[in-house]
């Protein structure tokens, strides 16, 4: 990435005056069984429609896989849900009471949406313990963060997550020194520390060995139920191994939805993938 692009990355701005639009996001209302509503969302960059009339719903406790060719809009979709990109139109609701489009990234995160990036981004200068500690759910205001002290329960929680992601032995190792796969896990671990209701996981097994993949699959399946999980993945074998329901994204909208077998036999899906 050129230095210029790096500047641009940092040049984005908030369009939202978040102080004005304070809404209560303490409790997600999922009484209708759905945790995420994405309806008629469209976003275009310079005339190119990255997302086009996108509609889908995620149920409470569901594990959903999203697949699709490059440029289908998977990452942009995640950007919209987590507040990084604002759509031109459409609505995105978290449960029935929380309008995600009116919130900033930190507010969305606090409301209970966690995200793992495609490129693993952990804080390289911090050790594993500190990475997890910073991600931990709780009051993240300036003063509270300054005064924060770890209680023994919180300490135990970090240790147990570290155990879950298999990094207990390296707790004081700098995250920058971890292998690619370990960084992926650390990032998932940070997600867990946030204790989100909805997890958005972008390409969790890229660069992993088969063993690590299996382990990741197990982890994600075990998370479903208590959490809702959306996984975007290229690796078909991995998707087949964990997915109950699969959505195929193509040119910014949902092309097909169903079990892995159903979508694999869907004529339109075959055309798109073979036509590539």
Partner 1 sequence: MSFFSLKNKITLVLIFSLSLLFTSSSFAESTNLQHKNSEPFIQALELLQSKSYNKKGKAIEQLVATKDERVQSILEAMLKARLFYTKEDKTVVIGKKVDDGFALTSVLEQKYLGSLSKSKLKKVKVNNKLRGILRASIATLSLSSPDAKKRLAAVKQMFGKTNKAGITALQAHLKMEKDSAVRSEIETLININDLDSGDKETQLAAIKTLFNSLNPETRNKLEILKDNADADIASASQVALKNINNKLGFYDKVNTAFFGLSLGSVLVLAAIGLAITFGVMGVINMAHGELIMLGAYTTYVIQQIMPNHIGLALVLAVPAAFIVSGSVGILIERLVIRHLYGRPLETLLATFGISLILQQAVRSVFSPLNRAVETPVWMAGSLEINPALSLTYNRLYIIFFCLAVFTILYLIIKKTSLGLSVQAVSQNRSMARAMGIRASRVDALTFGLGSGIAGVAGVALSQLTNVGPNLGQAYIIDSFMVVVFGGVGNLWGTLISGFTLGIANKFMEPWAGAVLAKILVLVFIILFIQKRPRGLFPQKGRAAES
Partner 2 sequence: MFKLLKGDRGGQVFLTLLTLAAILIPIFNLILPESSPFHVSTFTVTLLGKYLAFALLALSVDLVWGYMGILSLGHGAFFALGGYAMGMYLMLQIGDRGVYGNPDLPDFMVFLNWKEIPWFWHGFDNFWFAMVMVALVPGLLAFVFGALAFRSRVTGVYLSIITQALTYALLLAFFRNEMGFGGNNGLTDFKDILGFSLQSDNTRIALFVASAIALALGYLSCRSIVTSRLGRVAVAIRDSEDRVRFIGYRVDHIKLAIFTFSAVIAGVAGALYVPQVGIINPGEFSPIRSIELVIWVAIGGRTTLYGAVLGAFIVNYSKTYLTGVAPETWLFALGALFVFVTLYLPNGIVGLLKRKQA
What residues make contact with partner 2 under the rule CB under 8 A? Answer: 6-7, 9-14, 82, 84, 104-106, 109-110, 114-115, 117, 121-126, 130, 133-135, 137, 140-142, 145-148, 190, 194
User: CB under 5 to 8 A by kind: which of partner 2, partner 1, none does 22 bind?
Assistant: none
Residue 6 vs 244, nearer CB to partner 2: 6
User: CB under 5 to 8 A by kind: which of partner 1, partner 2, none does 141 bind?
Assistant: partner 2
Please give the torsion angle defined by the CA atoms of residues 128, 121, 206 and 184, in that order, rounded to the nearest 10 degrees: 20
Q: CA 20 from chain center: how many Å?
A: 27
Residue 8 vs 210, nearer CB to partner 1: 8
Distance, in Å, from the CA atom of 260 to the CA atom of 271, rounded to the nearest integer, reads 16
User: CB under 5 to 8 A by kind: which of partner 1, partner 2, none does 64 bind?
Assistant: none
Measure the CA angle with vertex 152, ends 151 and 157; round to 5°: 100
Residue 42 vs 99, nearer CB to partner 1: 42
Residue 21 CB, nearest approach to partner 2 (Å): 14
**Encoded tokens for 270:** 């075959």
User: CB under 5 to 8 A by kind: which of partner 2, partner 1, none does 146 bind?
Assistant: partner 2
What count of residues does the chain have?
276
Listed in sequence order, the residues at least 6 apart from 122 whose beta carbon sits closer than 8 Å to its beta carbon are 131, 175, 176, 178, 183, 186, 187, 190
Contact 189, 132 (CB under 8 A): yes
Residue 11 CB, nearest approach to partner 1 (Å): 5
In the three-class reduction of DSSP (H, G, I as helix; E, B as strand; rest coil), residue 61 is classed as: coil
Residue 147 vs 169, nearer CB to partner 2: 147
User: CB under 5 to 8 A by kind: which of partner 1, partner 2, none does 45 bind?
Assistant: partner 1
Q: Could you tell me the CA-to-CA distances from 12 to 5, 44, 129, 153 in Å, in that order?
A: 11, 16, 30, 38
Distance, in Å, from the CA atom of 195 to the CA atom of 198, rounded to the nearest integer, reads 9
Residue 9 vs 24, nearer CB to partner 1: 9
User: CB under 5 to 8 A by kind: which of partner 2, partner 1, none does 267 bind?
Assistant: none
Residue 48 vs 146, nearer CB to partner 1: 48
User: CB under 5 to 8 A by kind: which of partner 2, partner 1, none does 5 bind?
Assistant: partner 1
Distance, in Å, from the CA atom of 93 to the CA atom of 111, rounded to the nearest integer, reads 12
Residue 266 CB, nearest approach to partner 2 (Å): 33
**Encoded tokens for 120:** 């693993």
Residue 1 vs 274, nearer CB to partner 1: 1
Residue 47 CB, nearest approach to partner 1 (Å): 9
Residue 141 CB, nearest approach to partner 2 (Å): 7
Residue 13 CB, nearest approach to partner 2 (Å): 5
DSSP alpha helices (H): ranges in 112-199?
A: 128-135, 142-147, 152-164, 180-194
Query: Which residues of this chain interact with partner 1, rule CB under 8 A?
Result: 1-9, 11-13, 45-46, 48, 50, 85
Contact 111, 94 (CB under 8 A): yes
């Amino acid at each position: 990435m050129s230095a210029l692009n790096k500047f641009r990355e940092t040049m984005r701005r908030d369009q939202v005056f978040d102080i004005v639009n304070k809404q209560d996001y303490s409790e997600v209302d999922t009484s209708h069984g759905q945790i995420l509503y994405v309806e008629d969302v469209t976003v275009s960059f310079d005339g190119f429609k990255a997302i086009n009339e996108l509609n889908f719903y995620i149920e409470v406790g569901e594990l959903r896989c999203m697949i699709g060719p490059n440029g289908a809009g998977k990452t942009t979709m995640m950007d919209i849900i987590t507040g990084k990109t604002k759509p031109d139109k459409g609505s995105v609701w978290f449960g029935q009471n929380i309008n995600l489009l009116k919130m900033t990234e930190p507010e969305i995160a606090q409301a209970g949406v966690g995200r793992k990036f495609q490129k693993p981004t952990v804080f390289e200068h911090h050790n594993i313990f500190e990475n997890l500690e910073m991600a931990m759910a709780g009051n993240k205001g300036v003063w509270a963060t300054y005064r924060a002290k770890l209680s023994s329960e919180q300490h135990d929680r970090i240790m147990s997550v570290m155990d879950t992601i298999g990094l207990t032995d390296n707790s004081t190792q700098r995250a920058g020194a971890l292998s690619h796969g370990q960084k992926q896990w650390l990032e998932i671990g940070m997600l867990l520390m946030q204790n989100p209701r909805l997890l958005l996981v972008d390409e969790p097994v890229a660069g992993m060995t088969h063993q690590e993949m299996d382990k990741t699959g197990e982890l994600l399946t075990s998370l479903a139920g208590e959490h809702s999980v959306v996984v975007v993945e290229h690796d078909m074998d991995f998707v087949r191994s964990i997915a109950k329901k699969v959505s195929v994204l193509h040119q910014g909208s949902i092309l097909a939805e169903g079990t892995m077998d159903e979508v694999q036999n869907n004529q339109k899906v075959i055309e798109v993938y073979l036509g590539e």
